Chains A and B, each alone.
Chain A
Amino acid sequence: MAEHQVQATVNGQEVTAMVEPRLTLADFLRDRLRLTGTHLGCEHGVCGACTVLVDGAAIRSCLAFAVQMQGCSITTVEGLTPDSGELTDVQAAFRAEHGLQCGFCTPGFVVSATALLAERPDLTAAEVREGLSGNLCRCTGYQGIVRAVQSVIRSRQATGSGHEAEAGTAQAEAGAAQAEAGTARAAGVTGS
């Protein structure tokens, strides 16, 4: 099958590759770039395990093709944190609230929750559940996940409105820590 060139920014790094048109973004990230934190739970766009940020918006990477990513800025779960082993506030809250068990759906939830909180920093409990309803978890019954997102909302609100601009955040910070192109990505996340 004929291959096409695609150029994109992935976790702050410029990437150029030749891809078949049918190669999904998920397979591209996982198999070609070895960013295996993006998981495949259904490959038909329902479970959300493969959620990544493309120009700041959360999308299902199993439903996108790599060839469509020309000029895009992509952030995977690996891009949310620098390699130091630190956790973002969202990830730390998942840990504190036991929001994961087998961990397979977790990267998708972390990315979705990061985007959700960037977009809507003041969600009610019902809105948190609604906002996370595009991701499936089979282990936790969602108890710890919902608690985790609520606790992030509370702690961000407690640290004052100045934090809100940062709400992009974990991701933006990670970008800065990571590479030059991080800035474009951070702008994307805050919903430009």
Chain B
Amino acid sequence: MSGETAARYVGARVQRLEDPRMLTGRGHYIDDHVVPGMLHAAFVRSPVARGTVTALDVSEAREMPGVAAVFTMDDFRDVCQPTWSTITGRDPNALPLKPLADGDVRFAGDPIAIVVAESRYLAEDGAEVVDVDLDAQPPVLDIETGLRSGIVVHPEIGTNLAAHIDAPAEDEKIFADAAYVVTETVVQHRYVAVPMEGRGLVASWEPGRGELTIWAATQAPHEMRSYCARMLGLPEHRVRVVMGDVGGGFGQKMFVTREEMAVVLASYLLARPVRWIEDRAENLLAGGHARQEQATVSMAADAGGRLLAARVHHTENVGSYSTPGTGSVGGGVAAFFPGPYRLPVMSFTNQAVYTNTCGRCAYRGPWLFETVAREQMMDVVARATGMDPLELRRVNVLTDDDLPYTSPTGVRYERISPAKTLEQAAGLIDYDGFRREQAAARAAGRYLGLGLSLYVEPIQTRGVLGSEGAILRIEPTGEIMLIMGTASHGQSVETTMAQIVADELGCDPESIVFLQGDTAVTPWGPGTGGSKTAVIAAGAAHLAAGKMRDKLMRVAEHVLEVSASDLQLSGGRVHVKGDPEAGASFAKLAEAAYLNPAALPADIEPGLLVSARSVAPPSTLSNACHACTVEVDVHTGEVTILRYVVSEDCGRMINPMVVEGQIAGGVAQGVGGVLLEHMVYDAEGNPLTTTFMDYLLPTACEVPDIEYGHVVTPGDTAGGFKGMGEGGAIGSPPAVINAVADALAPLGARITGTPLGPPQVLAAIAAAAAGE
């Protein structure tokens, strides 16, 4: 059926529909949500990294004013059933999470008891007087100790090896014959997601109705519903999860965590609404950590700098209670280590290690170490061969002629443009001009450097992540409502989906009300994360809008007595082509569809309601190149970013403003991660950085102006859109690291990882001066 419309909104910098309420303080976040009669929770947490609970006395706390209850694991044991994440499935190697410590503590911050009281102030008063005796024991904190020591984090598992991969390759001859072989150990330190809003929820069990309602700051309401239904043995349709506005997540709010389990269980036992709003110290202490891993990489190259083979030994510190599953990202690191280069042979081993630290959670581009390690290694190879880093990448990068291409790890690349983004970024940063400026600066005693980072971003649409649902309704009065399974928490989904529907229906985005994040109302969805919105959500919105357009045309044929081939949609109306006056508004059509059903032809179902589910293509890849220039003050160790360029190819863009915003946010997190952010434990496993005075986020002073270039290689998706939400965070760390390494190369300083704060920069310079 025809009914063509012109693309007016897709591709345009449409201002966001979310903004007015958020700008005027009228958003609705979890901490704003009030349920009559609700109680407030506070946790008692372990002050030590590892130990046995020798005594736990909550009697005084139970007597405190306003305290309704204090629960320990003993209280939850009979009602809390083993549960798991739908997204990852049941992992036989992973420990089912217990909401509270059960006889021992396994990291500093481990929740031991939950105090529920009339206000948060009173709950915290109660938590103060819970009496815990701990027999502290030596912890394992790092990968090496975790693998070698007899101390076991989880005695039930009996080993600290959470997961491992052993994928050898026939490469002896290649390495033996190669013109160049380089080996380096690349280290990535622990840094964390830090959404500006911490975790939080209000859980309300109503035994009379047999219904559990959870209002939560979550990225995945349906995941939370399934998880909690399993935990309590409730039918899934008796659990309702509702999200409002959510103050960022970055992966941390994708999976249900132990404190959230405890709050739900507390409500279940009390049959009253219970609320917990995480504070910042808790969020940094126990909200889920990320990124701590390293790899020893050997790379072989021929005399012309062409890569021949790579050997990667990757190890990860996954902490204690990880989500989801074991927390290992080894599979992702393995799959994408080859990146956008011709790398014929690769071997890979991985060991993920439990330690007595906060467990790992997902954080924007969880597997990004593949790019962080590879892009540093590209510069190591460049220095070994005496080639310029740009030239080395040009020699190895996949070009249009190479595609489709299958990597040695089995990833099939097509519809990507790494060579084009490399050249665009080099042009934007004025690569040759900077090299001249750099040489002049060095002659003047200043240390400037340039870093490149080239990568492919896989869109996470495997398995249950590969489909999204949309329901589109036009109400009897003509108003349009789009209901989706998404869980937008900053990604502007409300706006971008409205843009897609508006173009299909020939109406304005502002005329569409968007509803998401209520499992009682919305179609099932895998949550918002993994850069998949532009593939699966856009796909669902597009399909639903197409169905609605067809339906409107059928009704219009009836109402207007004109053939659909002579009709078009625009201005919120269906009208005769070229004659906007000869038509009917959506309201008029809705009136016919709903209010006079008997008059409709028999083959038109009354009403204007459609639903659709998308299916993602087998694989969607975006790609980008980051180029960064820095100046390093060799006396203070301070790194200043001079320019930052990103050339991005995420296919056709729904809203370039949103795309650039996502890039910028990711870049800021990578820049912060390399230069400022560091989650530090002391030798006893005490966290030292649980305030924003210690855990340093980048401010407006540290994040430079970001310059963008766009290459458009349409994806195999509705509209040609691809995802890109994680790319900024993936590409930025090695761009900054390589720039610092490049700046310090004349001093002989070796930079092989992070963090790169002033102490580390000065240490590298000092080591070089000492001839180490």
Q: Which residues of A contact B (CB under 8 A)?
A: 20, 22-23, 30, 35-44, 46-47, 49, 76-78, 80-81, 85, 87, 91, 94-96, 98, 100-107, 110, 128-130, 132-146
What residues of chain A lie closer than 8 Å to B602, measured between beta carbons? Answer: none
What residues of chain B lie closer than 8 Å to A77, measured between beta carbons? Answer: 24-25
User: Whole-angstrom distance between the alpha carbons of A136 and B672 in the complex?
Assistant: 12
Q: Say which residue of A23, A95, A129, A133 sits within 8 Å of B23 (CB atoms).
A: A95
Q: Please provide the chain B residues from 15 to 69 with a CB less than 8 Å away from any CB of chain A in the complex.
A: 15-16, 18-29, 31-32
- In this complex, which of A96, A105, A138 has the most chain B Cβ atoms within 10 angstroms of its Cβ? A138
**CB within 8 Å for A101 and B23 given contacts A42-B692, A138-B669, A140-B665:** no
What residues of chain A lie closer than 8 Å to B16, measured between beta carbons? Answer: 95, 98, 100
Confirm or deny: B11 has a beta carbon within 8 angstroms of a beta carbon on chain A: no
What residues of chain B lie closer than 8 Å to A141, measured between beta carbons? Answer: 664-668, 703, 706, 728
The answer to whether A102 touches B245 (Cβ under 8 A) is yes
Interface hit among B167-175, B194-202, B295-303, B442-450: B194-202
Q: Say which residue of A20, A38, A43, A46 sits within 8 Å of B25 (CB atoms).
A: A38
Q: Which 3 A-B residue pairs are closest in the complex by CB-CB distance? A: A37-B25, A104-B247, A103-B22
A23 to chain B minimum Cβ distance, whole angstroms, is: 8
B729 to chain A minimum Cβ distance, whole angstroms, is: 11
- In this complex, which of B21, B28, B247, B691 has the most chain A Cβ atoms within 10 angstroms of its Cβ? B247
Q: Say which residue of B20, B194, B250, B658 sits within 8 Å of A95 (CB atoms).
A: B20
User: Whole-angstrom distance between the alpha carbons of A100 and B697 in the complex?
Assistant: 17
The contact sample of 6 A-B pairs, CB cut-off 8 A, is A85-B24, A95-B15, A140-B664, A141-B664, A141-B703, A143-B660
**CB within 8 Å for A146 and B247 given contacts A95-B19, A141-B664:** no
Q: Please provide the chain B residues from 596 to 637 with a CB less than 8 Å away from any CB of chain A in the complex.
A: none
The answer to whether B691 touches A138 (Cβ under 8 A) is no
Known A-B contacts: A98-B660, A103-B27, A142-B699. Give 6 more (CB < 8 A). A80-B24, A94-B19, A101-B248, A102-B490, A136-B697, A137-B196
Q: Say which residue of B21, B22, B121, B699 sits within 8 Å of A136 (CB atoms).
A: B699
What residues of chain A lie closer than 8 Å to B661, measured between beta carbons? Answer: 98, 101, 139-140, 143-144
A132 to chain B minimum Cβ distance, whole angstroms, is: 5
What residues of chain B lie closer than 8 Å to A142, measured between beta carbons? Answer: 664, 668, 699-700, 703
What residues of chain B lie closer than 8 Å to A128, measured between beta carbons? Answer: 700
B660-684 interface mask toward A, CB cutoff 8 Å, 1 = contact, 0 = none? 1100111111000000000000000
B186-222 interface mask toward A, CB cutoff 8 Å, 1 = contact, 0 = none? 0000000011110000000000000000000000000
User: Whole-angstrom distance between the alpha carbons of A49 and B24 in the complex?
Assistant: 13
The answer to whether B657 touches A106 (Cβ under 8 A) is no
A84 to chain B minimum Cβ distance, whole angstroms, is: 10
What residues of chain B lie closer than 8 Å to A94, measured between beta carbons? Answer: 19, 23
The answer to whether A138 touches B24 (Cβ under 8 A) is no
Confirm or deny: B491 has a beta carbon within 8 angstroms of a beta carbon on chain A: yes
Q: Say which residue of A36, A106, A145 sits within 8 Å of B31 (CB atoms).
A: A36
User: Whole-angstrom distance between the alpha carbons of A30 and B490 in the complex?
Assistant: 22
Q: Say which residue of B22, B23, B197, B664 sits within 8 Å of A41 (CB atoms).
A: B197
What residues of chain B lie closer than 8 Å to A98, measured between beta carbons? Answer: 16, 657-658, 660-661
User: Whole-angstrom distance between the alpha carbons of A135 and B280 in the complex?
Assistant: 15
User: Whole-angstrom distance between the alpha carbons of A137 and B194 in the complex?
Assistant: 10
The answer to whether A87 touches B23 (Cβ under 8 A) is yes
User: Whole-angstrom distance between the alpha carbons of A145 and B19 in the complex?
Assistant: 13
Confirm or deny: B183 has a beta carbon within 8 angstroms of a beta carbon on chain A: no
